[in-house]
């Protein structure tokens, strides 16, 4: 007996993904639909002796192909004919959800209508007569409570027993389809035809609601009460800031960073010494020992070290999204973000950038349009992530000891302003022809399904490990080679390495900015590997004891480096220009790998590298030369 193919479709926030996760559990394969970053989820299960392939289509309000999600759903039904299509409907918002149902039926797609979250509908005073609804459509109607495994598993019996050829659209539906056909061939202008078709769909929805649904008056809901504080007025902004602050504290201080530190300690204090001892005992060549320890293990460590941060952050974000709060954040910020050429949903990835650019870039897949996704990916690297803070703090402590807080604040502010300006420029130039839409539903507040939260976090984290990791690993090996070899072979003196030569060549570019030493050029290059490497590179190249260079202790490191020649290598104005360049130029290789993964193109990864570096060069030039003109040198 052949496998049964089942497609799940429906609006966002209908509990569709929860049902998919309950049906398939960990038996899922996650990828991307061809040509887009929208997730493709497929699960294989067996029931009543029959194998069932379940595909979770992207949540969409329509199949007009105006967004990536709509395009995916539209293309899927044009090229695929699954045995069963299940339209998941939020029973508490049935009228709005039926718009997609009618579109699907207009395209001749036989459906099973599944009324999900029936418990919420009852609390809202909504009573649905399933028999009348089934008669109105001429299609089978089922119901579930999404978070109830027992409820969802009943669908498997429906899948294996349903014979869709036994169902035919009702006269109500066939009359509607004929009406739409007449409108589309009426010779009216395209805009008028669309308007008339939409009106016809809502007429049909009104008839179905009148025959099968009754709504009783209820008291003010919990969602309405919470929204008076969480989605309106100044209070909503203050609470949003507090929520983000708590999220970053948990991710980057309380849970995520301590776990990342443990991973780092394992690599530095256990794995590297063990590997070095094992290779030395086996008589492995010095260059191979260095490749394994400083290249391969360091490369893997660079990837794995981010994992606790990413997983912690995505668990929190998935939880907040499941509660319905993230939709309120986008709603609050939309008027502000729209001035920069983006939608309100873009605020979340940008704010995540203050922690780390990698999860911030990944989070852009939640944005509605290609334009919003790409622009947000392109400007996220300008935000001051945690890895840039040691550079800013070190140079501020060394060259501006009386104004450290003011300088650090100015750097954060510069990153934000640069991101906003570049978003506006990109929106008005490269993406001028593309529209930025903002279609948003404010779902009711609810306790999210923990299984769904964990699976979503795992999907995103796994994608980072598999795809971004390959690029990061390759770049780690390249950087190792450059810092360990010269034309005569392997060298223990980094001053004589290819990296030093590259640093010398690179430094020429920065003569107009006042920091044209080869050490500064080399630090810029290693900063592409990891921004934290800038501080350690400076310490090593200027002769400081490597153990005394602590990226977590800016003042202590500043004292150490002041005792070296570094203090005289920069003027305060040149140091400020170097800080500005380090803040704005190319993101680290981890972030570049993530850009490639999310934008699905090496071309866009290269574009981000060169354009951010060019912007950084220009702004640092303005800072240095402008400062000289004002007499600050």
Helix (H, G, I), strand (E, B) or coil at 114: strand
pLDDT at residue number 394: 84
Instruction: Say how far apart CA 427 and CA 334 lie, in whole Å.
Output: 16
Q: 490 has which bridge partners?
A: 485
The three-class DSSP label of residue 437 is: coil
- The pLDDT of residue 319 is 92
Q: Say whether 220 sits in a helix, a strand or coil.
A: coil
Widest CA span of the chain, in angstroms? 88
What pLDDT score does 7 carry?
Answer: 96
Rounded Cα distance, 147 and 278, in Å: 51
Question: Using alpha carbons only, what angle is made at residue 608 by residues 603 and 610, rounded to the nearest 5 degrees?
Answer: 95
φ/ψ (deg, to 5) at 437: -105, 160
SS3 6: strand
pTM value is 0.71
Using the structure block, give the residue that is written with the tokens 């290693």.
526
pLDDT of residue 563: 67
Could you please report the per-residue DSSP string of 8-35? EEE-TTSSHHHHHHHHHTT-EEEEE-TT
Helix (H, G, I), strand (E, B) or coil at 79: helix
For the chain of 633 residues, list the mean pLDDT of each consecutive stretch of 10: 89 90 80 72 90 93 80 91 94 94 93 92 91 94 81 86 82 96 92 93 96 84 88 90 83 81 86 92 89 78 74 86 87 86 86 83 82 93 86 87 86 92 92 68 84 82 65 70 86 81 91 90 86 76 62 68 76 95 93 89 95 97 95 81
Q: What is the pLDDT of residue 470?
A: 66
Report the topology of domain 4-215.
Answer: Rossmann fold (3.40.50)
pLDDT of residue 29: 79
What is the predicted pLDDT for the residue at 436?
A: 59
């Amino acid at each position: 007996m052949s496998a049964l193919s089942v497609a799940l479709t429906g609006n966002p926030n209908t509990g569709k993904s929860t049902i998919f996760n309950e049906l398939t559990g960990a038996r899922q394969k996650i990828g991307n639909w061809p040509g887009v970053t929208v997730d493709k989820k497929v699960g294989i299960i067996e029931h009543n002796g029959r194998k069932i392939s379940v595909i979770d289509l992207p949540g969409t309000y329509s199949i007009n192909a105006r967004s990536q999600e709509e395009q995916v759903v539209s293309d899927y039904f044009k090229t695929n004919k699954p045995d069963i299509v299940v339209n998941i409907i939020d029973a508490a918002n049935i009228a709005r959800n039926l718009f997609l149902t009618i579109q699907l039926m207009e395209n001749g797609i036989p459906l099973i209508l599944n009324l999900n979250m029936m418990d919420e509908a009852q609390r809202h005073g909504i009573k649905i007569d399933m028999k009348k609804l089934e008669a109105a459509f001429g299609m089978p109607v089922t119901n579930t409570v999404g978070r109830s495994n027992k409820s969802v598993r009943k669908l498997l019996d429906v899948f294996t027993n349903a014979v869709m050829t036994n169902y035919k659209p009702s006269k109500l539906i066939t009359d509607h389809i004929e009406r739409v056909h007449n409108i589309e061939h009426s010779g009216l202008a395209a805009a008028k035809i669309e308007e008339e078709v939409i009106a016809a769909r809502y007429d049909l929805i009104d008839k179905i609601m009148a025959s099968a649904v009754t709504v009783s008056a209820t008291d003010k809901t919990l969602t309405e009460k919470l929204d008076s504080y969480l989605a309106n007025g100044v209070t909503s902004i203050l609470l949003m800031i507090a929520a983000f602050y708590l999220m970053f504290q948990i991710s980057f201080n309380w849970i995520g960073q301590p776990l990342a530190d443990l991973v780092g300690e394992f690599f530095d204090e256990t794995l590297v010494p063990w590997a070095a001892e094992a290779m030395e005992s086996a008589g492995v060549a010095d260059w191979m020992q260095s490749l394994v320890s400083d290249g391969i293990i360091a490369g893997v460590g660079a990837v794995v070290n981010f994992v606790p941060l990413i997983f912690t952050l995505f668990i929190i974000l998935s939880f907040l999204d499941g509660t319905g709060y993230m939709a309120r954040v986008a709603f609050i910020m939309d008027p502000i973000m729209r001035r920069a050429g983006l939608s309100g949903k873009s605020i979340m990835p940008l704010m995540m950038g203050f922690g780390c650019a990698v999860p911030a870039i990944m989070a852009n897949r939640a944005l509605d349009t290609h334009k919003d996704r790409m622009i947000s990916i392109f400007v996220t690297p300008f935000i001051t992530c945690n890895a840039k803070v040691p550079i800013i703090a070190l140079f501020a402590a060394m060259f501006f000891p009386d104004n450290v807080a003011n300088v650090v604040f100015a750097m954060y502010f510069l990153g934000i302003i640069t991101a906003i300006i570049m978003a506006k420029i990109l929106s008005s130039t490269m993406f001028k022809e593309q529209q930025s839409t903002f279609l948003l539903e404010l779902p009711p507040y609810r306790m999210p399904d923990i299984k769904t939260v964990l699976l979503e976090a795992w999907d995103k984290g796994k994608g980072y490990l598999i795809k971004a990791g390959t690029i990061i690993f390759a770049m780690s090996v390249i950087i190792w080679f450059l810092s360990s070899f010269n034309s005569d072979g392997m060298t223990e003196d980094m001053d004589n390495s290819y990296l030093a030569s590259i640093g010398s060549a690179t430094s020429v570019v920065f003569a107009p900015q006042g920091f044209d030493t080869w050490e500064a050029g080399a630090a810029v290059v290693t900063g592409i590997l990891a921004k934290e490497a800038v501080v350690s590179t400076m310490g090593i190249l200027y002769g400081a004891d490597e153990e005394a260079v602590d990226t977590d202790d800016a003042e202590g490191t500043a004292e150490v480096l002041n005792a070296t020649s570094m203090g005289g290598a920069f003027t305060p104005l040149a140091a400020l220009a170097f800080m500005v360049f380090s803040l704005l130029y190319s993101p680290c290789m981890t972030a570049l790998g993530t850009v490639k993964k999310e934008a699905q193109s090496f071309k866009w990864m290269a574009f981000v590298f060169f354009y951010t570096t060019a912007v950084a060069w220009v702004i640092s030039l303005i800072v240095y030369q402008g400062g000289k003109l004002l007499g600050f040198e």
